[in-house]
Amino acid sequence: MAFDPVKSVLAAGGKHGLSDSEKRDPIGLAVVALNKFAQSDLIDRLGLRKTSEQTVFRVTSAGFKTASAAGRAFARTGGKGGGKRVPAAANTGLFDLTPSEDEQMLVDVVTDFADEVVRPAASEADEACAAPDELLKASLEIGLPILGVSEELGGIATERSAVAGVLVHEALSRGDMGIAVASLAAGAVATALSLYGTDEQQSTYLPAFAGDEVPAAALVLAEPTALFDPLTPATKAVRQGSGYVLNGTKAAVVRGADAELFIIGAELDGKPQLFLVESTTDGITVVSDPSMGVRAAGLTRIELTDVAVEDVALLGDSATYREVVQNSRLAWCGLALGTAQAVLDYVTPYVKSREAFGEPIAHRQSVAFMVANIAIELQGMRLVTYKAASRVAQGKDASREIALARRLCAERGMQIGLDGVQLLGGHGYVKEHPVERWYRDLRAIGLMEGAVLV
C-alpha cells in the first residue's frame, strides 16, 4: 500500500492498543499533540531523561534493541552419524500414580529449592524482568539443564524422562513460573539436543551444558502474530551452499540478550524445521519484550536478518519438530500445575483467616465452593498432564493427550488464576500478595510455544 501522509496522521490504529479502524478527528489530533508536549516537558523538568538511556538494553521496557550475546565459540566436533539416545521408559501395565523413587527424590530437592530460594526471589525478579544470577547458578547445581540429557552425554537421564521433567516443572513453578522458565530454558535446548541431535551436534554443543559454565540458551518457536501456528512458521530458511539462511521475527525468547545458543523454528522447503543458531552469528537483533507475566524469564523477541548458518545447524526433521512443539506444550502444562497449586496453597489459609460479617469467609459456600473447584480442576489438570507425560516417556503417541492437557490447563488454569485474585478481593489486586502475579503468569498457558521442553 502506498504511503499516505494524511492517513498516517488520521489513522490512530496499530499502536497503543488501538485497532486499525480507529480514526482521529481534529480534537483527537490536538490531544495527541498536547500529550506529546506534556510528556517531554514533564521528563525534562524532572531531569529524568539521560541521553545514554536510549542505547542501553532494558529488558523491563519494550522495544530496546541489542545485538545477541558475544557468546563462546562452540568447537565443532563429532561425526555425521546419529546421536546417542535414551531408551523409552518401561511400562509395568499397571495404573499407578506414584512417582518412582528417583523422581520423588528429584521432586523433593526441587521443591525445597522452590520454597527456599525461588519464592522469596519471585516478586523482585518479576519487577526486574530477570532471575537473579546467583539463583540461576544455584539451579545448575541441582542439575536442571541436564535433566533430560542422556547419561552417556553427561546428563542424568537413563530413559526418556518426560514424567520427571513435568514433575520438576511443576515443583519449580510452585515457587515462581517466571523464574522456573528462566532456569529451565537451557535445559530445553540440551534436552532437544539429547533427543534429536546428531553425533556432531551433541559433541559440539552438549559438553557446555554438562560443564560448570552452562550457557544461557533458548528454544524459540513462537512468533508475534495472532493465531500463530508453530507448524507453519513465517520465519523462513533457505539453502545457501551447504548451509542455510534464516529470516524472520521470533517471540517468547527466554533471556534473548544472554543466550549463547538458540534453537529456532523456521520453515524450510515448506516444512517446519529446527535450526541451531549460535549467538555470535551475524544478523541477530534482540528486542526486549516484557510481557504480562512470566517476566522473570526476561522475554525478548529476536529479529533474524540474513542469518547464515552451517549445515550442522539443522536439528532433527519435521517429525521431530512436531514432537518438540508437543513436548514443549506439555512442559507448559507442568508449569501451570505448579502455579495453580501455589494459588490453592495461598488462598486456603487466607479465606480461613479473613473475616467478614463476624466469621471467616471460608464458612460461606460461595467462597468455599470456589476453593473446592480450584482443587478439583487442578487435580484434573494434573492427571491429564501426567497421563500425557507417561505416554511420552513410554514412547507412545501423545498428540491427543497433550492437546487435551493444554486445553485444560489453559482454560481451567486461567480460571484458577482469576479465582485466586477474586478470593482475596482488593488484596488480590495489589502486589503485596502474589496472586496477581500468578494471574498474569497463568495467562501464558495455552498461548506459549517453545521456551521449555520435557
Is residue 399 involved in binding another protein (CB under 8 A)?
A: yes
What are the cell numbers at 199?
Answer: 553425533
Q: Which residues contact 361 (CB under 8 A, 6 or more apart)?
A: 351, 354, 355, 367
Q: How far apart are CA 423 and CA 368, in angstroms?
A: 10
Interacting residues with another protein between 201 and 230 (CB under 8 A): 227-229
Interacting residues with another protein between 419 and 438 (CB under 8 A): none
Give the nearest distance from C-beta 182 to another protein in angstroms: 25
Residue pair 150/85 in contact (Cβ under 8 Å)? The answer is yes
Only segment of 69-77, 239-247, 286-294, 382-390 that touches another protein (CB under 8 A): 382-390
Residue pair 78/198 in contact (Cβ under 8 Å)? The answer is yes
Q: How far apart are CA 257 and CA 57, in angstroms?
A: 9
- Which residue do the cell numbers 479465582 mark? 419
| Contact with another protein (CB under 8 A) among 405, 442, 444, 445 | 405
| Contact with another protein (CB under 8 A) among 45, 48, 96, 358 | 96
Residue pair 257/141 in contact (Cβ under 8 Å)? The answer is no
Measured from the CB atom, the residue of 285 and 348 that comes closer to another protein is 348
Is residue 261 involved in binding another protein (CB under 8 A)?
A: no
Helix (H, G, I), strand (E, B) or coil at 245: strand
Give the nearest distance from C-beta 132 to another protein in angstroms: 32
Measured from the CB atom, the residue of 247 and 373 that comes closer to another protein is 373
Is residue 163 involved in binding another protein (CB under 8 A)?
A: yes
Is residue 110 involved in binding another protein (CB under 8 A)?
A: no
What are the cell numbers at 357?
Answer: 460479617
175 residue type, one letter: G
| Contact with another protein (CB under 8 A) among 368, 395, 415, 427 | 368
Is residue 390 involved in binding another protein (CB under 8 A)?
A: yes
Only segment of 25-33, 237-245, 402-410, 419-427 that touches another protein (CB under 8 A): 402-410
Q: How far apart are CA 358 and CA 152, in angstroms?
A: 63
Give the nearest distance from C-beta 327 to another protein in angstroms: 12
Where does residue 449 rank: exposed (0-12), middle (13-18), buried (19+ CB within 10 A)?
Answer: buried
286 residue type, one letter: V
What are the cell numbers at 185?
Answer: 530454558
Interacting residues with another protein between 317 and 346 (CB under 8 A): 322, 325-326, 344
Is residue 310 involved in binding another protein (CB under 8 A)?
A: no
Is residue 453 involved in binding another protein (CB under 8 A)?
A: no
Q: How far apart are CA 122 and CA 138, in angstroms?
A: 15
Q: Which residues bind another protein (CB under 8 A)?
A: 89-100, 103, 163, 227-229, 231, 322, 325-326, 344, 348, 351-352, 360, 362-363, 365, 368-369, 371-373, 375-377, 379-381, 383-384, 386-387, 389-391, 394, 399-405, 407-408, 411-412
